[in-house]
Structure 1
Amino acid sequence: MQNHKFSDIEVAAVYRAIAERRDMRHFLPNPVAPEILTKILHAAHHAPSVGLMQPWRFIRITDTNTRKAIHQLVDKERVKTAQAIGEYENTATGVDSKSAEFLRLKVEGILECGELLVVSLCDKRDGHVFGRRTLPEMDIASVSCAIQNMWLAARAEGLGMGWVSIFDPVELGTLLNMPADAKPIAVLCLGHVSSFYKEPMLVETGWATAKPLAEMVMENTWDTSK
Structure 2
Amino acid sequence: MAKYFNVSPSSAEGNHSVTVTPKTDFTGAGKVSEAITFTAKNDASKKATINCSRQGKIIAFDITKCTISSSPTLDGTYTKLTPKVDNASQVSMTIPATATYIKVLVPAFNDSYLGLGNGLYQDGNEFYAKIFGGWMTDDMETLSPTRVQYSSTTEDGFTPTGNPGLLAATTIEVWFKIEANIYGYGVKKEFVIVSSSDSGDLYFIFNQTRSASTMSVSPTTMDFGTSLTGKDALVSSNDEWTAS
Instruction: Give TM-score scaled by structure 1 length.
Output: 0.22
Q: Which protein has the bigger helix share?
A: 1
* Rg larger in structure: 2
Higher relative contact order (CA 8 A, sep 6+): 1
Q: Which protein has the bigger strand share?
A: 2
